[in-house]
Amino acid sequence: MNKAELVLSVQRSLGGDTSEAQAEGAIDTVVDAIKNSVREADEKVKIKGDTSEALAIQLMGFGTFYVARRNARTGVNPATGEKIKIDASKVVKFKPGAGLKALV
Burial of 39 (0-12, 13-18, 19+ CB in 10 A): exposed
**Superfamily per CATH, domain 46-104:** IHF-like DNA-binding proteins (4.10.520.10)
Which residue ranges make up each domain of the chain?
A: 1-43, 46-104
Q: Check residue 46 and give its pLDDT.
A: 62
pLDDT tens digits along 8-41:
999 999 988 999 999 999 999 999 999 998 888 8
pLDDT tens digits along 51-96:
567 778 889 999 999 888 888 999 999 999 999 999 988 889 999 9
